[in-house]
Amino acid sequence: MGTATTDLDEIHHVHHDVEGDERLSSTLVDAVAALADTDPADLPPLDSRINVAALDDLWDTDGAETPSAGCLTFSYGGYVVVVRSTGTVFLRETGDS
């Protein structure tokens, strides 16, 4: 991921390797922590905002079928998070903490 900024109008993105070993939830927490310039352990628990197991399984590519197209939007750690089935995660600062 590139250098983090705090421009409220800027949309940041990170690509999660949907075929890799890292969980989507880990990619998401790491991205928010990098943008917020904080340690991931200092962020609120992700499971306080969303069902983490469901998030990690949402577009699981281990099965024989191709995952469905779609996106999921929620807020976490002061960011609006949009997760697309392609593995792209968009983040926009809300101004809330």
**53, burial (CB in 10 Å: exposed 0-12, middle 13-18, buried 19+):** exposed
- State the pLDDT at residue 64: 61
pTM of the full structure: 0.79
Q: Is residue 28 part of a domain?
A: yes
- Report the C-alpha gap between 2 and 14 in whole angstroms: 9
Residue-number span of the structural domain to which 29 is assigned:
11-93
- The pLDDT value recorded for residue 21 is 79
* pLDDT tens track for 10-67: 899 888 876 777 888 999 999 999 999 999 999 999 999 999 998 888 766 565 665 6
The larger pLDDT score, comparing residue 27 to residue 68, is at: 27
Total domains present in the chain:
1
Highest mean pLDDT among 6-20, 30-44, 65-79, 83-97: 30-44
